[in-house]
Amino acid sequence: MKPRDAAWFKLRRRHLAIYPECRACDSLADPCVHHLTYRGGKRGEKERPGDVMTLCRGCHDDLHRDFAQTGEAPRSKRLHHFTIEWVETRQAQIAAIENPAM
């Protein structure tokens, strides 16, 4: 294993130990560690814990599909901003379904 891969697996494992659930829908199934910055290269080997976010497979796929529809590259710098807004929108949608009176 290359050093940068080892660093990424370590960051990924530590992140999932602290944040096992999907940030958007709270699912614990099939977690992905989504990059917000890709700091330090294509595997994000210089990323810090705040540079990644746990998303379940379903939310992660939806996020990247929606981002691709904006015409952005998958690793665009705009992904950070897009991700935060996308997650907040999905959280609000889920809250509205769970609490229809609000």
End-to-end CA distance of the chain: 51
Q: Which is nearer to Zn ion, 13 or 101 (CB)?
A: 13
Instruction: Kindly calculate the radius of gyration of the chain based on its CA atoms and give it in whole angstroms.
Output: 14
Pick the binder of Zn ion from 56, 67, 86, 87 (CB under 5 A): 56
Cβ atoms of 47 and 39 closer than 8 Å:
yes
CB of 77 to Zn ion, least distance (A): 14
Task: Work out whether 59 is an interface residue with Zn ion (CB under 5 A).
Answer: yes
Task: Work out whether 16 is an interface residue with Zn ion (CB under 5 A).
Answer: no
Q: Which is nearer to Zn ion, 11 or 22 (CB)?
A: 22
Task: Work out whether 22 is an interface residue with Zn ion (CB under 5 A).
Answer: yes
Nearest of 32, 35, 14, 13 to residue 83 by alpha carbon: 35
Q: CA-to-CA distance for 65 and 12, rounded, in angstroms?
A: 22
3: its two tokens: 């050093």
Task: Work out whether 25 is an interface residue with Zn ion (CB under 5 A).
Answer: yes
Name the site residues for Zn ion (rule: CB under 5 A): 22, 24-25, 27, 34, 56, 59
